[in-house]
Amino acid sequence: MPAIKDVYVAVIGAGGVGKAFLTQLEALSKRLTSPKISLIFVSRSKKVLYSPKYTALSYDNISTSLADSTQEPLALPQIIDFLAAAPAKVVLVDNTSSQDVADTYPGFLAKGISIVTPNKKAFSGSYTLWQSIFSAAASSGAKVYHESSVGAGLPVISTLKELVDTGDEVTKIEGVFSGTMSFLFNSFAPTEGSGGKWSAEVTKAKALGYTEPDPRDDLNGLDVARKLTILARLAGLPVESPTSFPVQSLIPKELENVASGDEFLQKLPEFDLQMEETKVAAEKEGKVVRFVGSIDVTKKEVKVGLEKFDRSHPIAALKGSDNIISFYTKRYGSNPLIIQGAGAGGDVTAMGVTGDLIKVLERLS
Amino acid sequence: MPAIKDVYVAVIGAGGVGKAFLTQLEALSKRLTSPKISLIFVSRSKKVLYSPKYTALSYDNISTSLADSTQEPLALPQIIDFLAAAPAKVVLVDNTSSQDVADTYPGFLAKGISIVTPNKKAFSGSYTLWQSIFSAAASSGAKVYHESSVGAGLPVISTLKELVDTGDEVTKIEGVFSGTMSFLFNSFAPTEGSGGKWSAEVTKAKALGYTEPDPRDDLNGLDVARKLTILARLAGLPVESPTSFPVQSLIPKELENVASGDEFLQKLPEFDLQMEETKVAAEKEGKVVRFVGSIDVTKKEVKVGLEKFDRSHPIAALKGSDNIISFYTKRYGSNPLIIQGAGAGGDVTAMGVTGDLIKVLERLS
């Protein structure tokens, strides 16, 4: 029998973030004396590893053990049943970006299973899903944290929540929310020097692993729109979905339907002139162009797209693939509260997840 | 009889931060349905307001009620006894900057009374006091939070703790930790234009309320040294005290012992040449001078004083009286995690305290 304070952890997803998280979880479980945390379930696509008797799994070679597992995969409702019947409190860590998993959060939460996750889909999908998630959590007392759904491990969501919870009035949120877009524009329109051609920068970013396999999945702006949806909702705006406000896509109309990312990259140079004109227009005003998201809470306006900034503006001065998020509030006045740093990557994303897990452990025990 | 989840709040200190906190506490207690929080004690210098039966105080005109109170003041040990005998969990909010109050934290914590505070003295005094505080808390299960002891409401301490707790390796912390110093140097050595004379900037800062009544209390660097002591300890360095590492004072030797702040300001112009030379030396390198604190965790070196920065460096580009704190870590690599914004002021300091109180409530209930 587990002690009353013990906590079981179940992990769905063991890719880049998932692997980094498992490493951090192992270290955390060794460091913590109370509560004792046991990994009792881990799954990845069609593979699953668990003991029907809830015995703790070993962290040694867990990726290999999972890959070699011959256990029958469980459907999501079965996972809920398995975890709900556990003889200890359970935290589900969803390290996927799956909409299917996100859609079952209310089911997990209703059964008292807490959730921590970097998965944006749950919190940026329909507003109905958002409401179901938080009302299920409120009813059962289960916790749900998702710091890494915006800005990876940067303390963006916790800061916004604290501003709101302590009674500050958030008037505007603005920033660069995509590491890919940050890298692209910091190279294409640097504050010093002239930068390369747009298509060349996109090709370079892909080669360096800064884009999705098909760069259009970054350039359509949807990733940024999802993050804005989450922040806007936390700031009190009942945004219906990430497509319910203006989002500028950087994919030329003519290339929206080409078959592959490679074909897209091949044809992109034909459209360099458009982006070059945008860059030059900004330069003529002494500015640089950046891909930003902004939420005007007072006017209830959310938008994503290209904007021009003075070269000395913090958004213009960003480096590498860093994110920057500025919170304008009543208390902070004319100078915003700013958070800046790497907003993508396995280790820092996992850090946000581990940090959330610690918060849940402190609140459960 | 209070319900098992109810929490009593006792407040020591009702000055600028204390008043702002009481306003935020009133709003919080109206918003929260569970736990129910009741203000049962408030004190200020020689005034105290409480009911021996722990009846909740009214927030209406509480400053006046406190000023008019004829209740006999309680000594700190009496306050401990009074709160320890309460029929509910108690959180002490220390909004003073008193060393005496700080010295009694272990006594409160040992009795299970949680503490939230912006008071730097407890965490930057002797290392023995630091150890007593956290071991008393660990033994009793009481919580202790002090976000506002560095950077006011900016999420500095929570971020550093999370980096450490999730297993990141913090290699260096650097920043501008004093709103007064930030304002002085942003005016004296701006990135554009030439700024005023040093003594004129100090006089102006005092007139605008940016300095302590005696500006030497800012210029001696001790306030920054205290904040560095706190961060260094959280990063794992057992720093003995804020005077156990190099701290550059900006008070000319000859003016250390003049009788008053006014006399100091009167004589300061005689020493403008020194600061002017420092500024010009930086300008010759294309840089600006700033008053910063840094902790090299790897080398175990802490220091506070003047440093030169490129004009494009985030520390140079700071505005107004903002603070900026950069965390260099293994996970974040060459680009640090940066937090920036107002690091002083009643409302934002109280916000950090209220945020901490919310954390304690979530962990107690």
Tell me, letter by letter, the H, E, C secondary structure of B149-215. Answer: HCCCCCCCHHHHHHHHHCCCCEEEEEEECCHHHHHHHHHHCCCCCCCCCHHHHHHHHHHCCCCCCCC
Please answer yes or no on whether A341 and B322 come within 8 Å at the CB atom: no
Residue of B nearest to A323 (CA): B337
Q: What is the pLDDT of residue B5?
A: 77
Query: B74 or A33: which carries more pLDDT confidence?
Result: B74
Contacts of B322 in chain A (CB under 8 A): 335
Contacts of A333 in chain B (CB under 8 A): 342
Q: Is B32 an interface residue toward A (CB < 8 Å)?
A: no
Q: Is A312 an interface residue toward B (CB < 8 Å)?
A: yes
> A241 pLDDT exceeds 60?
yes
Q: What is the pLDDT of residue B26?
A: 97
Structure tokens at A171: 């008037």
Confidence of residue B45 (pLDDT cuts 50, 70, 90): confident
Q: What is the pLDDT of residue A45?
A: 87
Could you report the per-residue pLDDT of B135-166, keeping only the tens digit for each?
999 999 999 999 999 999 999 999 999 999 99
φ, ψ for residue A327 (rounded to 5)?
A: -105, 115
The helix (run of H) or strand (run of E) holding residue B272 is helix B272-284
Structure tokens at B103: 């010295």
Chain position carrying tokens 């293994």: B330
The helix (run of H) or strand (run of E) holding residue A276 is helix A272-284
Enumerate residues 6+ apart whose C-beta is below 8 A from B103. B122, B125, B129
Residue B200 is assigned to a ligand binding site: no
Residue of A nearest to B336 (CA): A341
Please answer yes or no on whether A358 and B155 come within 8 Å at the CB atom: no
Mean pLDDT, residues B114-143 taken together: 97
Residues forming beta bridges with residue A48, ordered by sequence position: A43
> B3 pLDDT exceeds 80?
no
Please answer yes or no on whether B338 and A339 come within 8 Å at the CB atom: yes
Mutate to test the interface with B, among A166, A319, A323 (most CBs of B within 10 A): A166
> A365 pLDDT exceeds 70?
no
Minimum-distance CB partner of A337 among B154, B314, B336: B154
For residue A246, cis peptide bond before it (omega within 30 degrees of 0): no
For residues A106 and A136, the answer to whether their CB atoms sit within 8 Å is: yes
Residues in chain A: 365
Enumerate residues 6+ apart whose C-beta is below 8 A from B231. B150, B156, B157, B160, B173, B295
Centre a 10 Å sphere on the Cβ of residue B138 and count the other Cβ atoms it contains. 11
Contacts of B312 in chain A (CB under 8 A): 191, 317
Residue B343 is assigned to a ligand binding site: no
Report, as residue numbers or ranges, the catalytic residues of A: 227
ipTM above 0.85, yes or no: yes
Contacts of A354 in chain B (CB under 8 A): 166-167
Q: Is A154 an interface residue toward B (CB < 8 Å)?
A: yes
- Over its C-alpha atoms, chain A yields an Rg (Å, rounded) of 22
> B33 pLDDT exceeds 90?
no
For residues B305 and B291, the answer to whether their CB atoms sit within 8 Å is: yes
Centre a 10 Å sphere on the Cβ of residue B38 and count the other Cβ atoms it contains. 18
CA distance B45 to chain A (A): 26
Enumerate residues 6+ apart whose C-beta is below 8 A from A16. A346
Query: A209 or B103: which carries more pLDDT confidence?
Result: B103
Please answer yes or no on whether B348 and A341 come within 8 Å at the CB atom: no
Instruction: Give the SS3 label for residue B143.
Output: coil
Share of chain B above pLDDT 70, in %: 99
Enumerate residues 6+ apart whose C-beta is below 8 A from A288. A185, A189, A190, A191, A279, A282, A308, A309, A311, A316
Q: What is the pLDDT of residue A1?
A: 57
Residue B84 is assigned to a ligand binding site: no
Q: What is the pLDDT of residue B2?
A: 62
Q: Is B79 an interface residue toward A (CB < 8 Å)?
A: no
Average pLDDT across chain A, whole number: 95
Q: What is the pLDDT of residue B86?
A: 97
Residue A15 is assigned to a ligand binding site: yes
For residues A199 and A269, the answer to whether their CB atoms sit within 8 Å is: yes
Mutate to test the interface with A, among B5, B162, B164, B322 (most CBs of A within 10 A): B162
Calpha distance A60→A23 (Å, rounded): 10
Q: Please choose, from the candidates B292, B340, B287, the residue with its C-alpha nearest in 3D space to the C-alpha of residue B311.
A: B287
Residues forming beta bridges with residue B304, ordered by sequence position: B247, B293
What are the structural domains of chain B? 6-153+347-364 (3.40.50.720), 156-342 (3.30.360.10)
Give CA separation, A224 vs A36, A181, A212, A228, A292, in Å.
Answer: 37, 9, 14, 6, 8
φ, ψ for residue A171 (rounded to 5)?
A: -100, -35
Could you report the per-residue pLDDT of B194-210, keeping only the tens digit for each?
899 999 999 999 999 88
For residues B142 and B113, the answer to whether their CB atoms sit within 8 Å is: yes
Mean pLDDT, residues B65-84 taken together: 97
Could you report the per-residue pLDDT of B238-262, keeping only the tens digit for each?
999 999 999 999 999 999 999 999 9
Q: Is A193 an interface residue toward B (CB < 8 Å)?
A: no
CA distance A188 to chain B (A): 19
CA distance A74 to chain B (A): 30
The helix (run of H) or strand (run of E) holding residue A275 is helix A272-284
Report, as residue numbers or ranges, the catalytic residues of B: 227
Q: Is A349 an interface residue toward B (CB < 8 Å)?
A: no
Average pLDDT across chain B, whole number: 95
Q: Please choose, from the candidates A349, A346, A225, the residue with its C-alpha nearest in 3D space to the C-alpha of residue A295.
A: A225
> A229 pLDDT exceeds 70?
yes
> B95 pLDDT exceeds 90?
yes
> B300 pLDDT exceeds 80?
yes
For residues A326 and A174, the answer to whether their CB atoms sit within 8 Å is: yes
Please answer yes or no on whether A166 and B28 come within 8 Å at the CB atom: yes
Calpha distance A34→A362 (Å, rounded): 10
Confidence of residue A33 (pLDDT cuts 50, 70, 90): confident
**Exposed / middle / buried, residue A193 (Cβ in 10 Å: 0-12, 13-18, 19+):** exposed
Give CA separation, A97 vs A4, A228, A353, in Å.
Answer: 32, 17, 13
CA distance A166 to chain B (A): 6
- Over its C-alpha atoms, chain B yields an Rg (Å, rounded) of 22
Confidence of residue B34 (pLDDT cuts 50, 70, 90): confident
Q: What is the pLDDT of residue B301?
A: 98
> A3 pLDDT exceeds 70?
no
Q: Is A355 an interface residue toward B (CB < 8 Å)?
A: yes
Q: What is the pLDDT of residue B1?
A: 57
Structure tokens at A329: 């509030």
Give CA separation, A137 vs A110, A111, A325, in Å.
Answer: 6, 9, 28
Residue of A nearest to B357 (CA): A166
Give CA separation, B216 vs A120, B195, B259, B263, in Å.
Answer: 50, 21, 11, 11
Enumerate residues 6+ apart whose C-beta is below 8 A from A119. A94, A95, A96, A97, A98, A101, A102, A146, A149
Q: What is the pLDDT of residue A196?
A: 93
Confidence of residue B327 (pLDDT cuts 50, 70, 90): very high
Helix axes A16-31, A346-364, angle to 10 degrees: 40
> A141 pLDDT exceeds 70?
yes
Share of chain A above pLDDT 90, in %: 92
Minimum-distance CB partner of B166 among A162, A351, A362: A351
Structure tokens at A303: 């938008």
Q: What is the pLDDT of residue B194?
A: 86
Please answer yes or no on whether B27 and A331 come within 8 Å at the CB atom: no
Could you report the per-residue pLDDT of A314-338, keeping only the tens digit for each?
999 999 999 999 999 999 999 999 9
Please answer yes or no on whether B331 and A24 come within 8 Å at the CB atom: no
Taking CB atoms within 8 Å and a gap of at least 24, the contacts of B209-216 are B210/B179, B210/B180, B210/B183, B210/B184, B210/B321, B211/B180, B212/B180, B212/B261, B213/B261, B214/B260, B214/B261, B214/B264, B215/B180, B215/B261, B215/B264, B215/B265, B216/B251, B216/B255, B216/B256, B216/B261, B216/B264
